[in-house]
Amino acid sequence: MKRTPHWQRKAIAFLLAGLLLLAVPGFNRTASAAAPVCGSGDHGLLPELQVKNAASGATMAFSDIEFLNADTGRAAGNGFMIGTSDGGCQFQKIYEGQWNFRDIDFPNNVHGWALASVQDGQQVYLIATADGGATWKRLGSGAVTFERIDFLDNTHGFGYNRASTYYTADGGVTWTRVATPANTRGAEFTSRQNGWAVVVQPGASYKVMKTANGGKSWSLSLTASFAYPEFGRVYASGKQVYALLYGGTGMSQTSYSLYASANQGKTWTRVIAESTAGGGPAPGSGALQHDKGPAKGKPGNMQLVGDASAFLVGYSPAGGEVAVGRSLNAGKTWTNLPPVPGYEGIISFPDSTKGWMAVRGLNGEAILYATSDGGSSWQAKLTFKGNSR
């Protein structure tokens, strides 16, 4: 779910995927002139893990997904990683073991990094793979404070938590802290020099700041009035930038505002301002396009493609719906699309029409959906059954 330049990186990844698929464990296929017979349900994957989870009352769950293109990608969860190289016709087991994945990042089809805990442990470790995810090694001697990671290539990447940003130039072996403004509560760097930060001013507002010199200096790009700012997230790709600013949470409801810029933060449009009874008012003021986001629920992750396309997943625990909202013109217009049943969702869009979504179903299922029309409709490609009745 972000790298710079986004379209160029995905194009390179597409070529690498085609060259390297046969070298990656779990992705080997035998060529055939006949049309493939696609799998269904759980594709016969991870039967022992499913039985183990069922016996303990747990369910299979996806914590993160990432697709390099419409055909090739991975989905990871509690003790497993699976993948497909043919658009979900067939899935293969890539990894099964001790690591419970929380966040995965693959700049290409061979090299990847992840944040993971050991089984039910609370400490989070940074781990890396050089064989597509089949085997993993821990980097560093102890736990990390990162909440998410973003690698631009095989050596350069960023590690984030709400208050801090770190940079590596040696594949995650060593890290240096990047200077961000005081009271930063969410940052995003698209390169070592260019970055964004959400800054909170208690009792007053959110401020979105921008740097073009690696954090040495910062300039103001956006101010959104709000009495109780907590944290936010910036997404950037090419000229388009989105700022997701969170309001309060209560009664399974979250208030938020989504701002969009088509010119690298020179001007902004308030795309969504969703106020809720449980979460209170949405941050900011003034004109808005929509007073509800996708599924009229909580915001999940965003995916930006090039200079114009953006997708946001939203989910309503009370309504039992998961949906995607999108803009194809850098936020000038926004459309909330039809939902699927579920409680939570994660999305990965490698281009402006083809995407994937992992959903926790109404009965505890873990479902992988694919779309070929930009999220207007979804087809289930894999389902692990839940334990709910």
Query: What string of DSSP letters covers 355-386?
Result: EEEEEE-TTS-EEEEEESSTTSS-EEEEEE--
- For 199-225, the pLDDT digits (tens) are 999 999 999 999 999 999 999 999 999
- For 120-179, the pLDDT digits (tens) are 888 999 999 999 999 999 999 899 999 999 999 999 999 999 999 999 999 999 999 999
Burial class (CB in 10 A: 0-12, 13-18, 19+), 340: buried
Both tokens of residue 335? 């459309």
Q: Look at 29-38, 182-191, 194-203, 312-321 and tell me which has the smallest mean pLDDT.
A: 29-38
Percentage above 70 pLDDT, the chain: 90
Residue 6 has pLDDT above 50, yes or no: no
Residue 24 has pLDDT above 90, yes or no: no
- For 86-124, the pLDDT digits (tens) are 999 999 999 999 999 999 999 999 999 999 999 888 899
184-189 sheet: strands from edge to edge: 184-189, 195-201, 205-211, 219-225
- Residues 153/145, Cβ–Cβ less than 8 Å: no
Residue 33 has pLDDT above 70, yes or no: no
**Count of all residues that appear for the chain in the document:** 389
Give residue 28's pLDDT.
Answer: 47
Read off the pTM: 0.90
Give residue 35's pLDDT.
Answer: 62
Give residue 141's pLDDT.
Answer: 87
- Residues 129/138, Cβ–Cβ less than 8 Å: no
Residue 72 has pLDDT above 70, yes or no: yes
